[in-house]
Amino acid sequence: MSEEARLRENICAMARSIFDRGLTAGASGNISARLSDGGLLVTPTGSSLGRLDPARLSHFDAGGRLVSGDPPTKEMSLHQAFYETRNEAGAVVHLHSTHSVALSVLPDTDPDNVLPPITPYSIMRLGKVKLLPYFSPGDPGMGDAVRSLAGKRSAVLLANHGPVVAGKDLEAAVYAMEEMEETARLVMLTRGHGPVLLTEGQVRDLVRKFGLEWEN
């Protein structure tokens, strides 16, 4: 099986897993992954992550031209912005996952770091997650907002919309997105109960031990 064929199958399998576990619903959410030649495979607009056809994924060449497949997600500006500003990005996942969206609309959510250090794993997989303002779906301003971060964040949360996560490959991006939603769920479950969070010293130790992106 060729690299492209394998990646097409993996995108559809990962997307189906995300959908089956209720991390996104209906025709919401989108995924892209980079090929070794610099091209992209992208989930089509209006498609359910639970019912993707590998042969109909949008295929862009390294110059950003659509060369085959259905029209891509209208959130292409988000995906392109991560690839342009983070050279190591091999995949981008965007969902409308429930707990992350809920966290995005609460007035006391820290816009510079939306996830309190409730476990080490969100720190290890996501670093600091920036809250970006609301944009209308498909607004290219979302991509501009990501570009303004100059590649310093691997994950953002769009207010009233949902999370976007970049990873070194498809699996890393999906696992980081799952960690994002699970941590948001924990935050919502413990809100108002005075949870004991990791200390600044414990966070610094994680950052030092695992060489994490944090001080930005």
- Annotated catalytic residues are 75, 121
Cβ-based burial of 22 (10 A; exposed 0-12, middle 13-18, buried ≥19): exposed
User: In one letter, which amino acid is 147?
Assistant: R
CA angle 103, 104, 109 (to 5 degrees): 70
Number of other CB atoms surrounding residue 103 within 10 Å: 26
DSSP assignment, residue 68?
A: E
- Give dist(CA 126, CA 152) in Å, integer: 11
Is the Cβ–Cβ distance between 131 and 111 less than 8 Å? Answer: yes
> Residue 37 burial (CB < 10 Å; 0-12/13-18/19+)?
exposed
Question: According to the 3-state scheme, what is the secondary structure of 133-196?
Answer: CCCCCCCCHHHHHHHCCCCCCCEEEECCCEEEEEECCHHHHHHHHHHHHHHHHHHHHHCCCCCC
* Dist CA 109 CA 183 (whole Å): 13
